[in-house]
Amino acid sequence: MITLHWLYLLAGAMFAGFAILSAGDRSNAKRWGNAAFWGLMALSLLGGDLIGDLGNGFLVLGLAALAGFGLVGRGQPATTSEAEREAWSARLGNKLFLPALIIPATALFGTLLYNYSPLGQSGLFEAKRETYVLLGLGVLLAILTIFVWLKPPPLTPLQEGRRLIDSIGWAAVLPQMLAALGVLFAAAGVGDIIGGLTRSVIPDGSLFLTAAVFGIGMALFTMVMGNAFAAFPVMTAAIGVPLLIQDYGGDPAVVGAVGMLAGFCGTLMTPMAANFNLVPAALLELKDQYGVVKAQVATALPLLALNILIIYVAAFR
């Protein structure tokens, strides 16, 4: 049976490759910091279940120290030049997107085939993890297609991957860490503390103020955590359920759905949501690393105000 653990091994091997190539990149003054950072990421994926909670805790502290002390920097991998990439683009045009399309196509059609054919009874993939496994398979098929079609040097996928991951830097691991942080906050009772503070500040019967605090709180916590899904359990336990739903009788569906949308407004305004805001800036090679965030603020603020109004009006009609 192919399980999710196989994907961890695949991703860990990729980060291990980044670490080795970074260590050999003499053009990067911070090559040892890069090698250590991506090496720790590889260790977490390849052996995280073996080193235990304490070991993983020290591993995370090591990642934070390397990033916090500025020991991670952008390398110059031996890959194609901008002129060469433009030449390939002019020659092949939109055909260059074909390998990338193989990945979602494999995940989508592979999942449908596996779930709605006798193949699903074979037990080939771990239950309810087939889409993830097929996504990884799609990546391997896309790389194989590139080698057969374009015949690049053997290390090109790793070098290009390292070029991209170095452009993003430490922010690439933020989604994983922030999702874990949200679970920790909820387990530590942060929501109960915030709920107690809210009750002590907001006068009884102040429905609009409660809705505003919930919406703004969702946006702010999302900005801090970088992920609305991480902020949601905290703010829902603090304000959403005990105040808006239980005390004021709000519609749980509206409070939950629009509360999440308020959190997404925070996503638009924070660099902590690296996969949404910093990664596109790196991919597009924007001069301003925070250009995406700055462009989205004008949309996020009025949308947040609208969300608060919807919670107040629609949830309690």
pLDDT band at 179 (very low <50, low <70, confident <90, very high): low
Output the DSSP codes for the chain.
-B-HHHHHHHHHHHHHHHHHHHHT-TT-TTHHHHHHHHHHHHHHHHHHHHHHHHHHHHHHHHHHHHHHTT-------S---HHHHHHHHHHHGGGGGHHHHHHHHHHHHHHHHHHTSGGGGG--B-TT-HHHHHHHHHHHHHHHHHHHHH---TTHHHHHHHHHHHHHGGGGGHHHHHHHHHHHHHHTTHHHHHHHHHHHHSPTT-HHHHHHHHHHHHHHHHHHHS-HHHHHHHHIIIIIIIIIIIIT---HHHHHHHHHHHHHHHHHT-TT-HHHHHHHHHHTT-SSTTHHHHHHHHHHHHHHHHHHHHHHHHTT-
Contact 191, 185 (CB under 8 A): yes
Tokens of 227: 């992920």
Quick: pLDDT tens for 269-299: 988 877 788 777 776 777 888 888 899 999 9
**Other CB atoms within 10 A of residue 30 CB:** 19
Average pLDDT, the chain: 86
Question: In the prediction, which pLDDT does 317 show?
Answer: 61
CA distance 96 to 86: 12
Q: Return the closest-CA partner of residue 279 out of 267, 266, 297.
A: 267
Predicted confidence (pLDDT) at residue 180 exceeds the cutoff of 80: no
CA distance 67 to 217: 28
Quick: pLDDT tens for 115-125: 888 887 888 88
> What number is the average pLDDT over the span 8-31?
91
CA distance 7 to 178: 21
Question: In the prediction, which pLDDT does 265 show?
Answer: 93
Quick: pLDDT tens for 42-56: 999 999 888 888 898
Predicted confidence (pLDDT) at residue 144 exceeds the cutoff of 70: yes
Question: In the prediction, which pLDDT does 153 show?
Answer: 85
* Residue 23, C-beta contacts closer than 8 angstroms, at least 6 positions apart: 31, 32, 34, 35
Contact 5, 128 (CB under 8 A): no
CA distance 165 to 279: 9
pLDDT band at 225 (very low <50, low <70, confident <90, very high): confident
CA distance 171 to 166: 10
Quick: pLDDT tens for 253-270: 888 899 999 999 999 998
Predicted confidence (pLDDT) at residue 175 exceeds the cutoff of 80: no
Higher pLDDT, 247 or 110: 110
Q: What b/e sequence results for 200-217 when a residue is b if at least 16 CB atoms lie within 10 Å of its CB, and e otherwise?
A: eebeeeebeebbbbbbbb
Q: How many residues does the chain have?
A: 317
